[in-house]
Amino acid sequence: MAEKFIVIIGGVISGVGKGIATASIGKILEEFGYDITAIKIDPYINYDAGTLRPTEHGEVWVTYDGGEVDQDLGNYERFLGMHLPRKNNITTGQVYDKIIKNERQGKYLGETVQFIPHVPNEIIKRIKDASKEYDIALIEIGGTVGDYENIPFLFAMKSLEKEFSKDNVLYVLVTYMPIPSNIGEMKTKPTQQAIKQLNEHGIFPDIILCRGEKPLDSVRRKKIETYANIDSQFVISAPDEKVLYAIPLNFEKENLGSKVLKKLKLPLKKTPDFEKWEKLVNVIKSPKDIVNIAMVGKYVNVGEFSLKDSYISVNQSLEHAAAHLDVGVKINWIEAEELENYGKVANLLSKYKGIVVPGGFGSKGVEGKINAIRYARENNVPFLGLCYGLQLAVVEYARNILGMNNANSTEIDEHTPYPVIDILESQKQLMANSNYGNTMRLGSYCAYIDENSYIFKYYKLLGRVKTLEEVENYFKDDSNKEKRIGIVKPEEAKSLVLERHRHRYEVNPAYIDRLVNGGLRIAGYHRMKDGVKLVEFIEIDKHPYFAATQAHPEFESSLEHPSPMFYGFIDSAKKKLSKGLVKT
Q: How far is the CB of 557 from ligand GLN (least distance, A)?
A: 16
| Cα 168 to Cα 132, 158, 176, 265, 271, distances in angstroms | 15, 12, 26, 8, 22
Between helices 18-31 and 256-263, what is the axis angle to 10°?
80
Q: Is 31 or 48 the residue whose CB approaches ligand GLN more closely?
A: 48
505 Cβ contact partners less than 8 Å away, ≥ 6 residues apart: 391, 409, 410, 411, 421, 422, 423
Q: How far is the CB of 450 from ligand GLN (least distance, A)?
A: 23
Q: How far is the CB of 440 from ligand GLN (least distance, A)?
A: 7
Nearest to 156 by CA among 195, 200, 116, 207: 116
Binding of ligand GLN by 576 (CB under 6 A): no
Q: How far is the CB of 298 from ligand GLN (least distance, A)?
A: 11
Do 570 and 547 touch, CB atoms closer than 8 A? no
Q: Which residue is nearest to ligand GLN (CB)?
A: 359
Could you give the CA distance from residue 330 to residue 322 in angstroms, rounded to a whole number?
10
Binding of ligand GLN by 277 (CB under 6 A): no
Q: Which pairing describes strands 533-539 and 546-549: parallel, antiparallel, or unpaired?
A: antiparallel
| Part in contact with ligand GLN (CB under 6 A); list of ranges 57-65, 239-247, 319-327, 502-510 | 502-510
Q: How far is the CB of 312 from ligand GLN (least distance, A)?
A: 14
Binding of ligand GLN by 359 (CB under 6 A): yes
Tally Cβ neighbours within 10 Å of residue 410.
15
Q: Is 76 or 311 the residue whose CB approaches ligand GLN more closely?
A: 311
Could you give the CA distance from residue 470 to residue 464 in angstroms, rounded to a whole number?
11
Could you give the CA distance from residue 568 to residue 566 in angstroms, rounded to a whole number?
5
Binding residues with ligand GLN: total (CB under 6 A): 11
| Part in contact with ligand GLN (CB under 6 A); list of ranges 63-71, 167-175, 210-218, 501-509 | 501-509
Binding of ligand GLN by 537 (CB under 6 A): no
Tally Cβ neighbours within 10 Å of residue 529.
11
Q: Which of 4, 502, 526, 574 binds ligand GLN (CB under 6 A)?
A: 502
Q: Which of 158, 196, 263, 504 binds ligand GLN (CB under 6 A)?
A: 504
| Part in contact with ligand GLN (CB under 6 A); list of ranges 299-307, 315-323, 384-392, 557-565 | 384-392
Element (H, E) at 568: helix 564-579
Residue 147: DSSP 8-state: -
Return the amino acid letter for 427: Q
Q: Is 311 or 458 the residue whose CB approaches ligand GLN more closely?
A: 311
Q: Is 187 or 364 the residue whose CB approaches ligand GLN more closely?
A: 364
Binding of ligand GLN by 525 (CB under 6 A): no
Q: How far is the CB of 441 from ligand GLN (least distance, A)?
A: 8
Return the amino acid letter for 471: V
Binding of ligand GLN by 507 (CB under 6 A): no
Q: Is 40 or 503 the residue whose CB approaches ligand GLN more closely?
A: 503
Binding of ligand GLN by 64 (CB under 6 A): no
Binding of ligand GLN by 505 (CB under 6 A): yes
Q: Which of 360, 419, 524, 553 binds ligand GLN (CB under 6 A)?
A: 360
Q: How far is the CB of 421 from ligand GLN (least distance, A)?
A: 7
Q: Which of 388, 475, 537, 546 binds ligand GLN (CB under 6 A)?
A: 388
Binding of ligand GLN by 367 (CB under 6 A): no
| Part in contact with ligand GLN (CB under 6 A); list of ranges 150-158, 228-236, 355-363, 534-542 | 355-363
Q: How far is the CB of 311 from ligand GLN (least distance, A)?
A: 11
Binding of ligand GLN by 66 (CB under 6 A): no
Q: Is 30 or 68 the residue whose CB approaches ligand GLN more closely?
A: 68
Could you give the CA distance from residue 398 to residue 373 in angstroms, rounded to a whole number?
12
Binding of ligand GLN by 526 (CB under 6 A): no
Q: Is 40 or 500 the residue whose CB approaches ligand GLN more closely?
A: 500
465: Cα within 13 Å, side-chain hemisphere: 16
Tally Cβ neighbours within 10 Å of residue 214.
12
SS (H, E, C) 255-277: CHHHHHHHHCCCCCCCCCCCHHH
Could you give the CA distance from residue 190 to residue 426 in angstroms, rounded to a whole number?
56
Could you give the CA distance from residue 145 to residue 143 in angstroms, rounded to a whole number?
7
Q: What does the per-residue mask of binding to ligand GLN show for 306-345, with x meaning CB under 6 A?
A: ----------------------------------------
Under rule CB under 6 A, which residues in 411-430 are in contact with ligand GLN? 411
Q: Is 86 or 126 the residue whose CB approaches ligand GLN more closely?
A: 86
Phi and psi (nearest 5°) for 343?
-60, -25
Return the amino acid letter for 143: G
Under rule CB under 6 A, which residues in 393-412 are in contact with ligand GLN? 411
Q: Is the dihedral of CA 553, 556, 562, 564 positive or negative?
A: negative
Q: Is 202 or 437 the residue whose CB approaches ligand GLN more closely?
A: 437
Binding of ligand GLN by 364 (CB under 6 A): no
Catalytic residues: 387, 552, 554
DSSP codes joined into one string, 192-254: HHHHHHHHHTT---SEEEEEESS---HHHHHHHHHHHTS-GGGEEEEE--SSGGGHHHHHHHT
Q: Is 175 or 409 the residue whose CB approaches ligand GLN more closely?
A: 409
Helices of type H across 264-353:
275-285, 312-324, 342-349
Q: Which of 280, 291, 376, 387 binds ligand GLN (CB under 6 A)?
A: 387
Nearest to 21 by CA among 313, 323, 221, 236: 236
Using CB under 6 A as the criterion, which residues of the chain lie in contact with ligand GLN when the complex forms?
Answer: 359-361, 387-388, 391, 411, 502-505
